[in-house]
Amino acid sequence: MVLTPPVEPMLARPAERLPRRPGLCHEAKWGGFRAVCFAVAGHLYLQTRRGSDLSGAFPEIARAAGDLAAVEPCVLDGELMVAGEQSRLDFELLAARARRTGRRAAESAAQTPAHFVAFDILQLGEEVTMRLPHRRRRELLEDLFCCRETRWW
């Protein structure tokens, strides 16, 4: 089975304190857009949590996904972010970037590039990894990026 959009991601939930139980893992909420990146040859797609395609608004991420797909096809769950002045994350700037396409998106990508922080791997090659234990998916994700000489994103 190969994943195709849309894929419904797990969503962050507010909590007064972090639960501490064996097998639980926590990820920071960066304040960007939740996104699922389909980096599969012939199918580059940057999906919002509601299923919309943002690939045209973030050509630099789509280009990096294409480079990654050529080497190691995968589907990644993560968050899109844009840094504004003083390298602080800027949600308003990210939202403005999401509304641009074509030439305006390319200009914006050059001026204020977006970043994709991957925190889960949903598919690697032809293997859907969603049913694997989180610890194993995390190992696969780290191997995908940490063991490469090329920095993808």
Helix (H, G, I), strand (E, B) or coil at 59: helix
Residue 78: name the closest of 114, 105, 118, 50 by CA: 118
Kindly state the greatest CA–CA separation across the chain: 49
For residue 134, give Cα distances in angstroms to 41, 52, 81: 25, 26, 24
Nearest to 61 by CA among 84, 94, 23: 94
**Which entry of 29, 99, 136, 148 is annotated as an active-site residue?**
29
What six digits make up the tokens of 28? Answer: 């920071």
DSSP output for 12-29: ----SS----TT------
Handedness of CA 85, 86, 91, 97 (dihedral sign): positive
**Catalytic annotation present for 29:** yes
Residues forming the active site: 29
